[in-house]
Amino acid sequence: MSVKRIQFLDETAYAIENEEIKAIVLPSQGSNLISILDKSTNTEILRTPKNRTEYETRKMVFGTPVLFPPNRIEDAVFEYNGRKYELEMNRPKENVHIHGFVHDKEWSVLEIDHSIPRMKTQLRSAEHPDILNQFPHDFTITMTIEIAGNEVIHTTEITNNGESPMPCGIGYHTTFQFPSEAKLFLDVSEKWLLNERHLPTGELENIANRKEFSGGTSLSGVAIDDVFLMTENKTAAIERPEQGIKISYSLSDDFTQWVLFTASGNENLLAVEPYSWVTNAPNLKQLPRTLTGFDDIKPKDTKEYVSRFKVERD
């Protein structure tokens, strides 16, 4: 068991490993957990770039970019607690802000423990004027990556250091290797109707083919970019029969939504994105928080979000 400082994509990275699993974290790239390797089958679980050039083509579909807040904010503005928030307009073609403001920052390494093995990274908004300009709250995000047996435990804690409550929504653009023979197993019953800007209209629809999801679907050749309500079963599973493995991706209760994204459907990728609140939640004030997942953090309080990757072999 160890945590080693290595070079990955021409950046300083950290390899966390035991006898079963090796994970790689890139603190300089938003503390992206960018690789999970099953050692016994030599199988890469996540979509991991082969080199820096490939990574630069589209960073969001490699590893587990941290989305704070997740997905899109309509017109890049919202109001909360009597304050208007004006976020960066970084997707002008849809007139939205997308994916938040922590995934492209360098996080500091806070702690390394070889005996567990485990590492912690951290970002504080007060050190980033460009964050404060659009989200005027002093907050800290602390991420812990730990390996226990055949499981990677990914814990994110968000602390409000300020004197007023702050809105809080988090997600991960978790992108798996998903070859054509792979199958996704996911319990879903309703999905959000989206408009042409990929924003929820506020309406939900029942999923006619929900049994295909729960019984295993290949999604081969299917282009999908949809948002689903989580059920009580907050675990997605991927079977990869050629490698003889099954990956379970389990979330803590503060996560309320799934986003599934396959790009064209022909790129051997599947993003299974867990969100604590739905896309554009701050602007869906006509709907209850219990539905949208909209949340906030009281001054000096902390919220914790846990996700687990478990690899099982035939």
3-state SS string for 46-68: ECCCCCHHHHHHCHHHCCCCEEE
CA distance 171 to 259: 10
Residues 27 and 106 sit within 8 Å (Cβ to Cβ): yes
pLDDT of res. 73: 98
pLDDT of res. 69: 97
Residue 134: which residues within 8 A CB-CB, separation 6 or more?
85, 86, 87, 88, 101
Burial class (CB in 10 A: 0-12, 13-18, 19+), 56: exposed
Tell how strand 235-240 and strand 269-275 pair up: unpaired
For the range 265-269, what are the long-range contacts, defined as Cβ-Cβ under 8 Å and sequence gap of 24 or more? 265/219, 265/220, 265/221, 265/222, 265/223, 265/224, 266/221, 268/177, 268/178, 268/179, 268/180, 269/47, 269/61, 269/175, 269/176, 269/177, 269/178
**Domain carrying residue 95:** 2-313
Residues 197 and 94 sit within 8 Å (Cβ to Cβ): yes
As a whole-number percent, the residues of the chain with pLDDT over 90 amount to 94
pLDDT above 90: residue 220: no
Burial class (CB in 10 A: 0-12, 13-18, 19+), 60: middle
CATH number of the CATH domain containing 241: 2.70.98.10
Q: Which of 146, 173, 198, 239 is catalytic?
A: 173
Three-state DSSP class for residue 70: coil
pLDDT of res. 79: 97
CA distance 103 to 273: 14
Residue from 24, 21, 70 nearest 42 by CA: 21
Amino acid at 167: P
Confidence of residue 261 (pLDDT cuts 50, 70, 90): very high
pLDDT above 90: residue 75: yes
The number of folded domains in the chain is 1
Q: Establish whether 99 is a catalytic residue.
A: no
pLDDT above 90: residue 232: yes
pLDDT of res. 1: 83
Residues 118 and 142 sit within 8 Å (Cβ to Cβ): no
Q: Establish whether 88 is a catalytic residue.
A: no
**Alpha-helix runs per DSSP H in the chain:** 52-57, 129-134, 210-215, 289-292
